[in-house]
Protein backbone atom coordinates (compact mmCIF):
# COMPACT_ATOMS: atom_id res chain seq x y z
CA UNK A 1 0.00 0.00 0.00
CA UNK A 2 1.36 3.41 -0.88
CA UNK A 3 1.75 6.14 1.70
CA UNK A 4 -1.12 8.53 2.22
CA UNK A 5 -0.59 12.24 2.09
CA UNK A 6 -0.98 13.81 5.57
CA UNK A 7 -3.95 15.83 4.28
CA UNK A 8 -5.76 12.58 3.64
CA UNK A 9 -5.08 11.30 7.13
CA UNK A 10 -6.68 14.42 8.57
CA UNK A 11 -9.85 14.01 6.59
CA UNK A 12 -12.86 12.65 8.38
CA UNK A 13 -15.65 10.23 7.63
CA UNK A 14 -17.35 10.81 4.34
CA UNK A 15 -14.44 12.70 2.88
CA UNK A 16 -12.23 9.67 3.36
CA UNK A 17 -13.55 7.87 0.32
CA UNK A 18 -12.95 10.78 -2.03
CA UNK A 19 -9.43 11.24 -0.72
CA UNK A 20 -8.59 7.60 -1.28
CA UNK A 21 -10.20 7.93 -4.69
CA UNK A 22 -7.59 10.41 -5.78
CA UNK A 23 -4.92 7.77 -5.78
CA UNK A 24 -3.04 8.51 -8.95
CA UNK A 25 -1.22 5.58 -10.56
CA UNK A 26 2.57 5.64 -9.96
CA UNK A 27 4.20 8.25 -12.20
CA UNK A 28 6.35 5.56 -13.83
CA UNK A 29 3.16 4.06 -15.28
CA UNK A 30 2.73 6.89 -17.72
CA UNK A 31 -0.09 5.44 -19.81
CA UNK A 32 -2.12 4.67 -16.68
CA UNK A 33 -1.60 8.22 -15.42
CA UNK A 34 -2.90 9.52 -18.75
CA UNK A 35 -5.98 7.29 -18.55
CA UNK A 36 -6.55 8.39 -14.95
CA UNK A 37 -6.46 12.09 -15.85
CA UNK A 38 -8.63 11.56 -18.95
CA UNK A 39 -11.26 9.78 -16.89
CA UNK A 40 -11.21 12.14 -13.91
CA UNK A 41 -11.70 15.32 -15.92
CA UNK A 42 -15.17 16.49 -16.87
CA UNK A 43 -13.96 19.16 -19.25
CA UNK A 44 -11.02 20.00 -21.43
CA UNK A 45 -9.43 22.93 -23.16
CA UNK A 46 -9.46 22.28 -26.89
CA UNK A 47 -7.27 24.17 -29.32
CA UNK A 48 -8.26 24.31 -32.97
CA UNK A 49 -6.72 26.19 -35.89
CA UNK A 50 -8.92 29.25 -36.14
CA UNK A 51 -10.95 30.11 -39.22
CA UNK A 52 -12.15 33.34 -37.66
CA UNK A 53 -10.91 36.86 -38.22
CA UNK A 54 -8.63 38.38 -37.01
CA UNK A 55 -6.87 35.17 -35.94
CA UNK A 56 -7.25 32.98 -39.03
CA UNK A 57 -4.62 30.24 -38.93
CA UNK A 58 -3.76 30.84 -35.29
CA UNK A 59 -4.35 28.45 -32.37
CA UNK A 60 -7.70 28.99 -30.66
CA UNK A 61 -8.30 27.38 -27.28
CA UNK A 62 -11.81 26.92 -25.92
CA UNK A 63 -13.56 24.93 -23.17
CA UNK A 64 -15.58 21.76 -23.80
CA UNK A 65 -17.34 19.28 -21.59
CA UNK A 66 -15.94 15.80 -22.14
CA UNK A 67 -16.46 12.29 -20.87
CA UNK A 68 -14.59 9.11 -21.69
CA UNK A 69 -17.31 7.01 -20.11
CA UNK A 70 -19.64 6.82 -17.15
CA UNK A 71 -17.98 7.03 -13.74
CA UNK A 72 -15.76 3.99 -13.27
CA UNK A 73 -16.09 2.89 -16.92
CA UNK A 74 -13.58 5.06 -18.71
CA UNK A 75 -12.82 4.07 -22.30
CA UNK A 76 -9.98 6.55 -22.72
CA UNK A 77 -11.77 8.15 -25.67
CA UNK A 78 -12.89 11.71 -24.90
CA UNK A 79 -16.43 12.16 -26.21
CA UNK A 80 -18.03 15.54 -26.82
CA UNK A 81 -21.50 16.90 -27.54
CA UNK A 82 -21.18 19.53 -30.24
CA UNK A 83 -23.17 21.86 -32.43
CA UNK A 84 -22.05 23.29 -35.75
CA UNK A 85 -23.15 26.70 -34.49
CA UNK A 86 -20.18 26.71 -32.11
CA UNK A 87 -17.10 28.76 -33.04
CA UNK A 88 -14.49 26.01 -32.54
CA UNK A 89 -16.66 23.41 -34.25
CA UNK A 90 -16.68 25.73 -37.27
CA UNK A 91 -12.88 25.56 -37.19
CA UNK A 92 -13.03 21.76 -37.07
CA UNK A 93 -15.10 21.71 -40.24
CA UNK A 94 -12.17 23.28 -42.09
CA UNK A 95 -9.51 21.31 -40.21
CA UNK A 96 -10.48 18.53 -37.78
CA UNK A 97 -7.02 18.49 -36.18
CA UNK A 98 -7.07 19.69 -32.61
CA UNK A 99 -5.41 19.39 -29.23
CA UNK A 100 -7.13 18.68 -25.91
CA UNK A 101 -5.62 19.35 -22.52
CA UNK A 102 -6.87 18.12 -19.17
CA UNK A 103 -5.40 18.56 -15.72
CA UNK A 104 -5.91 17.32 -12.19
CA UNK A 105 -6.09 21.03 -11.31
CA UNK A 106 -9.74 20.54 -12.32
CA UNK A 107 -10.14 18.25 -9.31
CA UNK A 108 -9.41 19.07 -5.66
CA UNK A 109 -6.21 17.06 -5.88
CA UNK A 110 -3.63 19.69 -6.82
CA UNK A 111 -4.92 22.29 -4.34
CA UNK A 112 -5.07 19.71 -1.57
CA UNK A 113 -1.50 18.68 -2.28
CA UNK A 114 -0.30 22.27 -2.71
CA UNK A 115 0.69 21.75 -6.36
CA UNK A 116 0.46 24.73 -8.68
CA UNK A 117 -1.38 23.91 -11.94
CA UNK A 118 1.81 24.52 -13.93
CA UNK A 119 3.85 22.21 -11.69
CA UNK A 120 4.51 18.82 -13.26
CA UNK A 121 3.42 17.34 -9.93
CA UNK A 122 -0.13 18.47 -10.81
CA UNK A 123 -0.56 15.80 -13.48
CA UNK A 124 -1.82 17.04 -16.83
CA UNK A 125 -2.11 15.60 -20.28
CA UNK A 126 -2.21 16.94 -23.81
CA UNK A 127 -3.83 14.91 -26.55
CA UNK A 128 -3.06 15.43 -30.22
CA UNK A 129 -5.45 14.18 -32.85
CA UNK A 130 -8.66 15.09 -34.58
CA UNK A 131 -12.34 15.40 -33.83
CA UNK A 132 -14.71 13.00 -35.61
CA UNK A 133 -18.45 12.63 -35.47
CA UNK A 134 -19.55 9.23 -34.15
CA UNK A 135 -22.68 7.30 -35.00
CA UNK A 136 -24.37 3.97 -34.29
CA UNK A 137 -23.39 2.09 -31.14
CA UNK A 138 -20.46 4.42 -30.52
CA UNK A 139 -22.86 7.38 -30.43
CA UNK A 140 -24.99 5.42 -27.94
CA UNK A 141 -21.92 5.00 -25.74
CA UNK A 142 -20.98 8.68 -26.16
CA UNK A 143 -24.48 9.69 -25.09
CA UNK A 144 -24.36 7.54 -21.96
CA UNK A 145 -20.82 8.76 -21.22
CA UNK A 146 -21.73 12.43 -21.56
CA UNK A 147 -25.28 12.58 -20.21
CA UNK A 148 -24.38 10.60 -17.08
CA UNK A 149 -21.72 13.12 -16.15
CA UNK A 150 -23.26 16.26 -17.68
CA UNK A 151 -27.00 15.84 -17.03
CA UNK A 152 -27.71 19.43 -18.07
CA UNK A 153 -26.91 18.43 -21.66
CA UNK A 154 -30.15 16.45 -21.83
CA UNK A 155 -32.08 19.73 -21.92
CA UNK A 156 -29.89 21.67 -24.35
CA UNK A 157 -31.95 23.21 -27.19
CA UNK A 158 -32.69 20.65 -29.88
CA UNK A 159 -32.73 23.28 -32.65
CA UNK A 160 -28.94 23.48 -32.24
CA UNK A 161 -28.61 20.06 -33.93
CA UNK A 162 -26.25 18.58 -31.37
CA UNK A 163 -24.19 15.61 -32.40
CA UNK A 164 -21.77 13.25 -30.64
CA UNK A 165 -18.10 13.34 -31.49
CA UNK A 166 -14.92 11.76 -30.29
CA UNK A 167 -11.38 12.95 -30.03
CA UNK A 168 -9.38 10.51 -32.19
CA UNK A 169 -6.05 10.41 -30.37
CA UNK A 170 -2.83 10.20 -32.39
CA UNK A 171 -0.39 11.08 -29.58
CA UNK A 172 -0.58 11.47 -25.81
CA UNK A 173 1.72 13.85 -23.92
CA UNK A 174 1.96 13.48 -20.17
CA UNK A 175 3.32 16.03 -17.70
CA UNK A 176 3.50 14.18 -14.41
CA UNK A 177 6.48 14.39 -12.12
CA UNK A 178 9.87 15.85 -13.06
CA UNK A 179 12.04 15.04 -16.05
CA UNK A 180 10.10 16.63 -18.86
CA UNK A 181 7.15 15.59 -20.96
CA UNK A 182 6.59 11.88 -21.58
CA UNK A 183 4.83 10.49 -24.62
CA UNK A 184 2.46 7.58 -24.90
CA UNK A 185 1.23 6.03 -28.15
CA UNK A 186 -2.51 5.52 -28.62
CA UNK A 187 -1.89 1.75 -28.42
CA UNK A 188 -0.15 2.03 -25.03
CA UNK A 189 -2.81 4.43 -23.82
CA UNK A 190 -5.74 2.18 -24.71
CA UNK A 191 -4.01 -0.93 -23.36
CA UNK A 192 -3.44 0.68 -19.96
CA UNK A 193 -5.73 -0.52 -17.20
CA UNK A 194 -8.47 2.02 -16.63
CA UNK A 195 -8.82 3.01 -13.03
CA UNK A 196 -11.79 1.89 -11.01
CA UNK A 197 -14.70 3.72 -9.51
CA UNK A 198 -13.44 6.74 -7.66
CA UNK A 199 -16.04 9.43 -7.18
Ligand X SMILES: *[C@@H]1O[C@H](CO)[C@@H](O)[C@H](O)[C@H]1NC(C)=O
Interface with ligand X (CB under 6 A): 130, 132, 135-136, 168-170, 186
Q: What does the alpha-carbon distance between residue 37 and residue 25 come to, in Å, rounded to a whole number? A: 10
Nearer to ligand X, 18 or 130 (CB): 130
| Phi, psi of 31, rounded to the nearest 5 degrees | -65, -40
Burial class of 124 by CB neighbour count within 10 A (0 to 12, 13 to 18, 19+): buried
CB of 10 to ligand X, least distance (A): 43
CB of 170 to ligand X, least distance (A): 5
**92, 77 in Cβ contact below 8 A?**
no
CB of 135 to ligand X, least distance (A): 4
Nearer to ligand X, 104 or 131 (CB): 131
CB of 126 to ligand X, least distance (A): 15
Q: What does the alpha-carbon distance between residue 79 and residue 127 come to, in Å, rounded to a whole number? A: 13
CB of 166 to ligand X, least distance (A): 9
Nearer to ligand X, 73 or 130 (CB): 130
Q: Provide CB contacts within 8 A for 53, sequence distance 6+.
A: none
Nearer to ligand X, 98 or 105 (CB): 98
Nearer to ligand X, 118 or 191 (CB): 191
Q: How many CA atoms lie within 13 A of 2 on its CB side?
A: 10
Amino acid sequence: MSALHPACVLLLGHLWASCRGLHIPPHGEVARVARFVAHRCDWASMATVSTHKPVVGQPFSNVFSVSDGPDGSGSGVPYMYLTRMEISVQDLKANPQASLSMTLAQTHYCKQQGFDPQSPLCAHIILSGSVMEVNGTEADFAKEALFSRHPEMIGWPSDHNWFFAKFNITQVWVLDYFGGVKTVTPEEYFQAAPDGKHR
